[in-house]
Structure 1
Amino acid sequence: MAQTNQYTKILLSKKIGKEVYSYSGGYGMVYDARTKTRSIVDSLGNITFESNYNISHIFKKRFILTSEESNYRTKSAVIDEKGNQLLPIDDQSFNTPWLSEKRIISSKEGKEAVYDYNGKQIIPYCDRIIFAGEERFFVLKDKKWFLYDLDGQQITNREFNEDNHFEKGRALVINEDNQSEIIGKNGQTLHKFSAQIYSLASYPYLITKNRTTGKYGLVDAEENIIADEIFDDAAPEYFGEKQYVYLRKKGKVTVFNKKDKKLYPNNFKYLTPLFNDMFTVYSEKSKKTGVVNLQGEMIVPQDYDFIQNFSISGKEFVYLKKGREEQFLDKDLKNILEENMQIIAFYPDHLIIKKEESYYTFSVVDHSVSVLKDVISIKEQGADFFNIFNMYSKPVVCKKNNNLYGIIDEKGKEIIPFIYDDIIAFENSENEFVVKKQDKYGVVNFQNEPLKDIVYDKFYWQKEVLKLDKDKKTDILYFTRFKNIGSRL
């Protein structure tokens, strides 16, 4: 079955005559307002379990059953899809913030234990248990923390003063000598430091923080000083290639480049990396953006409304927009757009462009074009849509020469038929859009699944909720985050 979870939820609701308010992993959750009961329904519409207790779906065939007792007591159990109690209901809660398909933490009478999802106890009840990532737990016993694996085996006799979290097999701890230390997954010492290490997010380079002044610096894993502790703040690059560390002092940034291991003082407060050691800089005064290099030299004037980098067909480009003027610069900062070309959409393998009132796919490799037949208009995506989470355009809403609207994907393939009087897509990366026919509105998603029938008089968009009015009644549809493929069964 190739339908999305979202559409399956709607089909199941119609089939069983009750609202399925969530669906994933082959099972949905149902609430009956009349009987105040909750149920589990499978993908065929069979109610597999019903209860007066709360039911929450963890994954696949595992659920948590919860009863709110008097005096704020909570009784909980882990059950399967048929309601069989794998971890019997008891005065306990499952307080873990992570959804693991291997282990779950139970809190009971001020103690915590680890179980698997068949009810086997892995780590007995003790003072506290913290999931430390990468198949590790920190366990608190007698005011000391110990390191355990997923099988409940204590990995080392070493005692720790606090719990920690592993990232890529490393954790930053304060050792018994009050020193910053990096340990491996087995608790072994990888590095010790005399300086206070503030963050290992840019490992093997480490941000330090002076205990007296509160100022920041930078060292390598052998504690060779790269930047003295004179900076007001410091942060690694969290996205992209993660090749820079930014150190700021008095409103100006100094960039550490991991590739050549050098510091580059700069006159700007914030830099956003593009590629080839280029950065965008934004002027709060003029509200305009430009491009500088590592040395802080302005290579694109700071007078553009929008600048964004794109990777197309394995090549890097910078898109510049100022009013109606557009440029698409290659690695040599040469504009590959011809005069009067306008970019409509950006995709991993090509662009969609407009030229002389016609629409084309455009290859950035050989600059060839292919006409989009019968398309007379395309609704453009706002520039503010693009960010680290939305790297490329959504499929585009088009109108053909029959004056009806549909949607094509990045390859020019029709994915929503051209049968609508209008299509209203939303700018914040939603998978749903409103369709209009004969002055009535409905909702469809990019998988061409009808989510709401075309029977509504009005619609309203409020953050993550779409409201639709009919006969003085309002129906609600919650948005999902946009995905090209959607969540499949």
Structure 2
Amino acid sequence: MAQTNQYTKILLSKKTGKEVNSYSGGYGTIYDSKTKTRGIVDSLGNITYESASGISHIFKNRFILTAEEPGNKTKSAVIDEKGNQLLPLDNQSFNTPWLSEKRIISSKDGKEAVYDFNGKQIIPYSDRIQFAEEDRFFVLKDKKWFLYDFDGKQISSREFKEDYHFENGKALILNENNQSEIIGKEGQTLHQFSAQIYSLAAYPYLITKNRATGKYGLIDSEENILAEEMYDEATPEYFGAKEYIYLRKKGKATVFSNKDKKLYPGNFKYLTPLFNDLFSVYSDKSKKTGMVNLNGDIIVPLEYDFIQSFSISGKDFVYLKKGEEEKFLDQDLKNILEENTRIIAFYPDQLIIKKQDIYYTFSVLNKAESPLKDIVFIKEQEPDFFNIFNLYSKPAVCRNGSNLYGVMNEKGKEIIPFIYDDIIMFENSENEIVVKKQEKYGVVNFQNEPLKDIIYDKYYWQKEVLKLDKDKKTDILYFTRFKNSGSRL
């Protein structure tokens, strides 16, 4: 019941004797190399439909059937798991942005229409149709764009010059008077500006761009000027708390604080927010990193190799590394680590540390340490692994006293048994782990599901593919992303 789609695909391939190309939502697509046919398979291994035509999986029990016709013509249909045509085979192509489970756009004879996945037409064939948000379309008729909802109802009679994309229920447009305007999902005017708005990514603050000079500035939604149009760049904070906007001029950044609506000039081009209006900064000259506050005062000298913020047990910390020296500072900038302590892994609720050749789990709340029994070595991840997508360490690859490798999660629980001569993880967030036993290689994942038998002589990592060699033949396994967001395994 808990097995992954990745492993289900492998099991179904073995059960059916055919290659299962994809699997999700209880169904997958298969290919028979002997008969050159494709088909649909359910979770029990029953082949529910077969065809000589192409089949691609949209979601659950919905698929696109593609048939090659004489004269290099292609016909397509939307089918269910049994091959029933919900949208009949025709000279059309389909657009399914965001893998929508509600609507699909059909393109035919230079026109486009919207259907649901039961074959009901929602919006008739028009010159062009674009998804604007999860429940909005822009429809082009007679060289004018109109806004529609997902039920095919035209929301207003307002005409637009272009199709636009909504973010958080708002879209930045150029109106009939060539003015920047922000509209809502009903097409209504929310704000209209005399200045040229470049981006609303920092809304309710708006980045402006001077038409004559190309310089950037900042205003609020009432068009009050917060920063004059004098900057070479203007970049909102796209991730995290989104507390700041960075305005750069001549290689130096001025920080706009959303909290107090003030500008703070600085001496560094790039700043990475930590917490409490503190930032890490990097010197191109010394190749070292330090910390400054919002006023630009240096709080930690630019002499560290690596600085990164972490949220552990609901509290903010910043990790600093300089050679063999490591510090883990709390919100009062006090180091909570004892001398000669190294941090091996960072997890949402605790750390794994090393002291005097012994590994421990470490609570940042009460500084309690619990030794990891029979663990003599843990493979560490390089500091550059950590970024906005990799907030925490992967589960730990460990070696025990018997010189065998396994993997433990953040609680010290074994999730891959200690039976291997080696285990190789990949620095990117991949869910595939190469295991080695008696000079042969295989592949498992973090759920300890066997993806490839331990029979291969070599392995290669090539972009999105893991290649494994045996007897001068190569098998491939496509990587799937391991979402390292602190979720429990």
Give the TM-score category using the shorter length.
over 0.9
Do the aligned residues in 1 keep the contact of 2:390 with 2:485 (CA within 8 Å)?
no
Cα deviation digits, residues 229-269 of structure 1 (max 9, x gap)? 11112111000101111111111111110000001111111
**Residue aligning to 1:154:** 154
Query: How far 1:35 moved relative to its partner?
Result: 2.1
* More displaced stretch, 33-42 vs 360-369: 33-42
Name the structure 2 match of 1:247.
247
**1:311-460 → structure 2 map (5 Å cutoff):** 311-460=311-460
Distance 1:485 1:319 in 2: 18
Cα displacement string for residues 161-215 of structure 1 (whole angstroms, at most 9, x for unaligned residues): 1111111111111111111111111111111101111111100000011111111
Match of 1:195, SS? coil
Separation of aligned partners in 1, 2:453 and 2:350: 35
Matched, 1:273 2:260: no
Rounded Cα–Cα distance in structure 1 between residues aligned with 2:32 and 2:78: 22
Displacement of 1:400 in angstroms is: 1.3
Task: Give me the whole-angstrom Cα distance separating, in 1, the residues matched to 2:135 and 2:331.
Answer: 42
Change in 2 beyond 3 A, CA 1:445/1:19:
same
Summarize the alignment of residues 165-314 of structure 1 with structure 2, pairs less than 5 Å apart: 165-314=165-314
Q: Is 1:108 paired with 2:114?
A: no
Greater displacement, 283-292 / 381-390: 283-292
Provide the rounded CA distance (Å) in 2 between the counterparts of 1:336 and 1:389. 26
Taking the aligned partners of 2:201 and 2:71, their CA distance within structure 1 comes to: 44
Deviation, 1:64, is: 0.6
CA drift at 1:485: 10
Task: Answer yes or no: is 1:65 the counterpart of 2:65.
Answer: yes
Aligned twin of 1:465? 465
Q: Using the TM superposition, name which of 360-369 and 18-27 deviates more.
A: 18-27
Relative to 1, partners in 2 of residues 1:178 and 1:71: Cα closer, same or farther, differing over 3 Å? Answer: farther
Partner of 2:20: 20
Q: Which amino acid aligns with 1:356?
A: Q
Q: Distance in 1 between matches of 2:144 and 2:485?
A: 47
| Residue pair 2:429, 2:484 contacting (<8 A) in 1 also | no
The answer to whether the 8 A contact 2:146-2:154 is kept is: yes
Equivalent residue of 1:118, what SS?
coil
Question: 1:221: Cα distance to partner?
Answer: 0.3
CA distance in 1, matches of 2:41, 2:362: 47
SS of 2:95's equivalent in the other structure is: coil
SS at match of 1:132: strand
- Cα distance in 1 for residues equivalent to 2:376 and 2:461: 28
1:75-127 CA-partner distances (Å, limit 9, x unpaired): 11110011100000111101343311111111111111100000000000011
Give 2:91's aligned residue: 91
Whichever residue aligns with residue 377 of structure 1, its letter is F
Q: Which AA in structure 2 matches 1:429?
A: S
Question: Aligned partners of 1:335, 1:425: CA distance in 2, in Å?
Answer: 31
Structure 1 gap segments, 5+ residues each: none
Matched-pair contact (CA < 8 Å) for 1:181–1:193: yes
SS class of match (2:64) = strand
Note if contact 1:446-1:484 (Cα within 8 Å) is conserved in structure 2. Answer: no
Q: How far apart are residue 484 of structure 1 and its match?
A: 6.0
| SS of alignment partner, residue 165 of structure 1 | coil
**RMSD of Structure 2 on Structure 1 (CA):** 1.5
CA displacement at 1:6 relative to structure 2 = 0.7
The structure-2 alpha-carbon separation of the partners of 1:485 and 1:179, relative to structure 1 and needing over 3 Å to count, comes to: closer
Counterpart-to-counterpart distance in 2, 1:228 and 1:485: 39
Partners of 1:160 and 1:242 in 2: how far apart? 31
The answer to whether the Cα contact below 8 Å between 1:134 and 1:169 also exists between their aligned partners in 2 is: no
Structure 2 gap ranges (5+): none
Residue equivalent to 2:29: 29
The 1:282–1:483 alpha-carbon spacing in structure 2 relative to 1, beyond 3 Å, is same
**CA positional deviation for 1:67:** 2.2
C-alpha distance in structure 2 between counterparts of 1:424 and 1:462, whole Å: 15
**Pair 1:482-2:482 in alignment:** yes
Letter matched to residue 283 of structure 1: S
Matches within 5 A, 1:127-142: 127-142=127-142
Letter of the aligned partner of 1:214 in structure 2? Answer: G
Higher relative contact order (CA 8 A, sep 6+): 1
CA contact (8 A) 1:447 1:486 kept: no
Q: Relative to structure 1, is the Cα distance of residues 25 and 229 closer, same or farther in structure 2, using a 3 angstrom cutoff?
A: same
Q: Answer yes or no: is the 8 Å Cα contact 1:344–1:353 preserved in 2.
A: yes
Residues in 1 aligned to 2:100 and 2:134: alpha-carbon distance in whole angstroms: 11
Equivalent-residue separation in structure 1 for 2:303 and 2:332 (angstroms): 20
Identity of aligned residues (%): 79
The residue that corresponds to 1:9 in the other structure is 9
User: Aligned with 2:6: secondary structure?
Assistant: helix
- Alpha-carbon shift at residue 300 of structure 1 (Å): 1.1
